[in-house]
Amino acid sequence: MAEIDWLEKMQSTLTPARVAHSLGVAETAAELAAYYDEEPERARLAGIVHDLAREMRPADMLAEALMRKLPMERIERQAPLLLHGPIEASRLAEDGLHDADVLQAVRLHTTGAPGMGRLAQIIFLADAIEPTREYPGIEELRGIAKDGLRVAVATCLKMQLTHLASQGHLIHPRAVATYNSFI
Ligand SMILES: [Fe+2]
Ligand SMILES: [Fe+2]
């Protein structure tokens, strides 16, 4: 499938707000890729498809993850939304998208992972700072996004983990491991 097909699929699958978010991630990721000497078209594609599975019902996410034999820890059973990246990466591979870096970026965009590549770092960051996002500290993070990919990912994780803990939410152990490896 060419990119235009993924774009159409995304636009026909997601609600308008999440279409706007996904387009924002695609554009932000393409800009970051150009800035960091990566390939903007691959970053744009990853942005377009990264949340395709995001609007499934949590019970369906659990069932599909089991069917696809995706790795699951206790936290995914408690918070199935964490599975939308891995589910979508598995579906994309099945549907003929074989760019390993794009698949990794989709799979890891919610938690990151200690060894994630630069395209995955770009999507992780773009997901947090695209233009429709709005939360305290985002302008500072948008500035830091150009100070180096690793420092930007570390700062983004610091903000996310702090926010999650302050709200009493679960934190995926992989997100903590990612933070530890990036600071
Ligand atoms: Fe997502
Ligand atoms: Fe997203």
State the distance from the centre of ligand 2 to the C-alpha of 143, rounded, in angstroms.
Answer: 20
What DSSP designation does 81 have? G
Q: What is the predicted pLDDT for the residue at 146? A: 95
Q: What is the pLDDT of residues 109-164, one digit of tens each?
A: 999 999 999 999 999 999 999 999 999 999 999 999 999 999 999 999 999 999 99
Cβ burial of 45 (10 Å; 0-12, 13-18, 19+) is buried
Residue ranges and CATH numbers for the domains of the chain are: 3-135 (1.10.3210.10)
Tokens at 174, concatenated: 């992989």
State the distance from the centre of ligand 2 to the C-alpha of 177, rounded, in angstroms.
Answer: 21
Q: What is the predicted pLDDT for the residue at 3? A: 52
**Rounded CA separation 182/179 (Å):** 5
State the distance from the centre of ligand 2 to the C-alpha of 104, rounded, in angstroms.
Answer: 14
**Rounded CA separation 125/107 (Å):** 14
Q: What is the mean pLDDT of residues 164-173?
A: 95
State the distance from the centre of ligand 1 to the C-alpha of 45, rounded, in angstroms.
Answer: 14
